[in-house]
Structure 1
Amino acid sequence: MSGFHQRLLTLDPRRQQAFMAALCERLLPNYVFYHQALQGESGGHVNPAGLRAILDLVWERLSVKEASIDFDRQAEKLAELEPPADDDSFGARRALEAVVALSALLDTLRGEAPEAVLEVSRTSKGGVRAFIELTEGEEDPRRLSELIKQHPLMAEENDFQDAVLEAVEGRLDRESLKVLRRLGRNEGVSNLGLSLE
């Protein structure tokens, strides 16, 4: 296991949750893009405001330990926000990653989910990998793997996750949580380099 993953696993649960929350912030625009692409079509329950509200409650719990929030109920709500199961489009899969990451985060708030932090880290990187595969059109697996490693988006993803990990290894008071949240929002640019602006 890489040193990075090792460091993630040694964080206490609250720090792991803060790490995951920041990554979820950066995945959220992909869900919003999918919602926009669906305009007018039946996107079922795809609702960015619903996802945003759940993530906001997570930040609230991180800031105010005694905040009484029913995360079982939030997990039920989240399950309803998944993209339609029969939509296998690129956008739907990236939107689903945002839901999956937030769901893993809720699992840790509802009880034991020791591997959740690794799942969220891998989910975010997996989306970047899929985006590079889609846009580069490289067939040769060895060349593709090299391309992914050296791609600016993957470098950015790795730098971002490193920065978030460093932040949560430090002090985690209200002020630093605000800074972390801003870092996660990444000025509205998702892990795929797509901007809501």
Structure 2
Amino acid sequence: MRNPIHKRLERFETWQNLTFMACLCERMYPNYRLFCQVAEQPENAKIYQNILNLVWEYLTVKGAKINFETQLEKLENIIPDVNEYTFFGVVPALDACEALSELLHAIIAGETLEQAIKISQISMQTIATLLESEQERELSETDLKSAVEIQEELDVQWQIYRTLNEYEERDIDPILDLKAELRTAGISNIGVEID
């Protein structure tokens, strides 16, 4: 599904794209956490959260020295195998891991635009997959565009974009504000809440 925000991300600086990605990963984290609760792997949820915390630290602490190759290895060890689980929750959990993996690759390689677009698409895809699973049919682009859940996700992505777009220079305040706002809300892109 085409998302007009992708064209706009081309104008972003690296820090803005990385923050945009971190925000979307933050929104997918409750999906992974719920999966870990059901699969009885609470330590994996902590690892995911820690890696994401290090990304926020990298974005907000000047001169933070973090080995993201090591973090990527840690993440690769906690990616669920879809074939081992029969419940739907493994799908959004896998998407959350894929998104965080893209974010880490972006930091390591210093290439952010493609990854920002990809994470935006992954987040939308999680919602589309859930809707298709609930309705037991494949949804057309028109079906998806008119879905409330997709509209809400687009709104959130635009809101994050607009917040970051107000700043020409790298600024820590909007980064911390976005992180705090998403953590306080504690609701994922598919409506999973952190209690």
Does the TM-score normalized on the shorter chain lie above 0.5? Answer: yes
Distance 1:146 1:186 in 2: 33
Which residue of the partner structure matches residue 8 of structure 1?
A: 9
Which residue of the partner structure matches residue 29 of structure 1?
A: 30
Distance 1:183 1:24 in 2: 14
Kept after mapping to 2: 8 A contact 1:189/1:195: yes
Distance 1:161 1:186 in 2: 17
Which residue of the partner structure matches residue 62 of structure 1?
A: 59
* Residue 151 of structure 2, aligned match among 143, 155, 174: 155
Return the offset for 1:179: 1.0
Which residue of the partner structure matches residue 165 of structure 1?
A: 161
Instruction: Name segments (4+ residues, structure 1) moved above 4 Å.
Output: none
Return the offset for 1:29: 0.2
Q: TM-score, normalised by structure 1?
A: 0.88
Q: CA RMSD in A?
A: 2.0
Map 1:27-106; keep pairs closer than 5 Å.
27-39=28-40, 47-87=44-84, 89-106=87-104
Is 2:118 aligned against 1:119? yes
Q: TM-score, normalised by structure 2?
A: 0.89
Distance 2:136 2:81 in 1: 27
Q: Secondary structure at the match of 1:76?
A: helix
Which residue of the partner structure matches residue 180 of structure 1?
A: 178
The one-letter code of the counterpart of 1:181 is K
Q: Which deviates the most, 48-57 or 149-158?
A: 149-158
Distance 1:28 1:175 in 2: 22
Kept after mapping to 1: 8 A contact 2:82/2:91: no
The one-letter code of the counterpart of 2:160 is V
